[in-house]
Structures are given as structure tokens and as C-alpha cells.
């Protein structure tokens, strides 16, 4: 099945965006068959393909019921809304809805994606360290993220201290 193919991609460090989008589309049409683990693997594989827009595309194909809102930064008063950030509104004055425990991996991966997309690399590695169980069965994830970070650093910096680069790459020595 396509879901087994997603698992194979994760184990063998392969990537097939079209197949992954097909799985997410099937979940849109058949929400009863939604699998958090498979969706998490698809999102993580999409993150390995940054700076391409695969992650955003996959994120937008996940039903809001499975990608709940959460505060980006309490000091900013903004909340993540399916597909992007928006100012807080009266609907969100108290708290975002409490997601079920099974949706936690998706929330965490969306948060990790936000950190990468906004170039908060040190915060990304810290958050990843606290959620390493997300990477179970995902081969090559950290190396792919480091490749993306090197790409960003290469187009952003003319000079960078070795210690800062090491920190951005997850405290490599």
C-alpha cells in the first residue's frame, strides 16, 4: 500500500513527494483512515527536502482536526492557523483547543518546521533533542537538515565564526 511505501521511504532515505501527497489526499477524502504515524513520517520527509516548498504543501493538505492551533509566541499574541500565522482573534482569547495526545507528533513536527523555515536553527536542535522519538525510523533526517542549514548559511553569510556554524548545525565538533 501507499502507507507502507511511506515507511519504506523513511527507512531507506528515499523520497517520493507525489506518493506522499496521494496519501494525504486519501486522508482528506477518508478521514476515518487517517494515521498520525504515517502523516508524521510524510511531514518529516518533506522537511528533509527544504528549501523546496514540499513541507508547506503537505502541511496544507492536513485537515485542521489533525493539525490543531497552538501559540507561536505568547508575547506576540499570534496563533498558528492551518497554513500560516494570523493575529489572535476573539475566538482564540483563552487558549487554543486542546489536541488529543495522538496529534502531538504532528504539532511538534509543525513547530520544528516553523523553526527551520524561520532560521531559528539553535532552537530547532533544542526542540528536536526534546522530541527525538519523532525520528524513529527516519533515516538521514539530521543530515538532510544540516544540508539545508548549510545552504541557508551559504547564501546568508559572507563570514561566520566556526563556533556559530557548529551551533547552527546542532553542536557539531
Report the interhelical angle of 36-47 vs 104-117 (nearest 10°).
10
CATH number of 2-168: 1.25.40.250
Reported confidence tier of residue 69, pLDDT bands at 50, 70, 90: low
Question: Whole-prediction pTM value?
Answer: 0.79
90: pLDDT strictly greater than 60:
no
Task: Encode pLDDT of 103-160 as tens digits.
Answer: 789 999 999 999 999 999 999 999 999 999 999 989 999 999 999 999 999 999 999 9
Domain layout of the chain by residue ranges: 2-168
Amino acid at each position: 500500500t501507499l502507507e507502507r511505501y511511506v515507511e519504506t521511504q523513511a527507512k531507506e532515505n528515499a523520497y517520493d513527494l507525489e506518493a506522499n501527497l496521494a496519501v494525504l489526499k486519501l486522508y482528506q477524502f477518508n478521514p476515518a483512515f487517517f494515521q498520525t504515524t504515517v502523516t508524521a513520517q510524510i511531514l518529516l520527509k518533506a522537511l528533509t527536502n527544504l528549501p523546496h516548498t514540499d513541507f508547506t504543501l503537505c502541511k496544507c493538505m492536513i485537515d485542521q482536526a489533525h493539525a490543531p492551533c497552538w501559540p507561536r509566541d505568547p508575547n506576540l499574541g499570534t496563533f498558528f492557523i492551518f497554513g500560516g500565522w494570523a493575529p489572535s482573534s476573539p475566538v482564540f482569547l483563552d487558549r487554543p483547543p486542546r489536541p488529543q495526545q495522538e496529534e502531538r507528533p504532528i504539532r511538534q513536527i509543525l513547530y520544528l518546521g516553523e523553526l527551520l523555515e524561520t532560521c531559528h536553527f539553535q532552537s530547532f536542535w533544542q526542540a528536536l533533542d526534546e522530541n527525538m522519538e519523532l525520528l524513529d525510523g527516519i533515516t538521514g533526517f539530521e543530515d538532510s537538515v544540516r544540508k539545508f542549514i548549510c545552504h541557508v548559511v551559504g547564501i546568508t553569510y559572507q563570514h561566520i565564526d566556526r563556533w556559530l556554524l557548529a551551533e547552527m548545525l546542532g553542536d557539531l565538533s
